[in-house]
Amino acid sequence: MVDNIIRFPIGKGEKRPSNNFKQRLLLKLYSIPIFHRIKWIKRMLCKEFNLPLSTSISQGFYLSAPNINVGEHTGLGDTFILAFAPVYIGRNCSFSYRNMIITSSHDFSEFSTVIAKPVIIGDNVWITSNVTILPGVTIGNNTVIGAGSVVTKNIPSGVFAAGNPCKVIRKINFKK
């Protein structure tokens, strides 16, 4: 379970993580269809965000801060990642389209303060379409998250889970 809470109070000297100019420019260039095909732009994007070169990045990918760790052979699809806290994504993961990983929320008692919790996604995980993963969630290895799910709590390894809120539907057995 992830208990690391990071607080960003406004006006108290703590700056929220964000992309620098070069990172914003690379993401913008990569979103343009003709530039999306230029390999050196993808290499620069991977280098700037510390992504393995084996990472597959779709045109709609956006990362709000360079606070991410991705394993080899992962496909990020059309994924929006708000990474005020670290996001860990394992090896051989696949993100389909229109997904979000959100690591932060506002503190209800002091709305100007942002609180963030890390998100951990294991190896061999498939995040299907329109999935939202909320702060502090851990998704185990060999798991599939069904379309339209909102993941609010930890999901164990080796299951198919779906719904809003996301719940385990059944165990699955991957055959290699």
Which of 111 and 103 is assigned the larger pLDDT? 103
- 123 occurs within a structural domain: yes
23-49 per-position pLDDT tens digit: 999 999 999 988 888 899 999 999 999
pLDDT confidence of residue 1: 43
Give percent of the chain with pLDDT exceeding 90. Answer: 74
Tokens of 136: 């502090």
Which domain CATH number covers 62?
Answer: 2.160.10.10
116-150 per-position pLDDT tens digit: 999 999 999 999 999 999 999 999 999 999 999 99
- 95 occurs within a structural domain: yes
Average pLDDT over residues 92-118: 93
- 18 occurs within a structural domain: no
The answer to whether residue 106 is catalytic is yes
> What residue has token string 């939202």?
132
pLDDT confidence of residue 13: 65
pTM (global) more than 0.85: yes
- 5 occurs within a structural domain: no
- 157 occurs within a structural domain: yes
- 98 occurs within a structural domain: yes
pLDDT of 2 higher than 50: no
pLDDT confidence of residue 176: 60
To which H or E segment does residue 139 belong?
strand 138-139
State which residues form the domain around 127: 55-170
Q: How far is CA 102 from CA 6, 44, 119, 170, in A?
A: 14, 24, 8, 25
- 60 occurs within a structural domain: yes
Annotated active-site residue in 106, 153, 154, 165? 106
Count the domains in the chain: 1
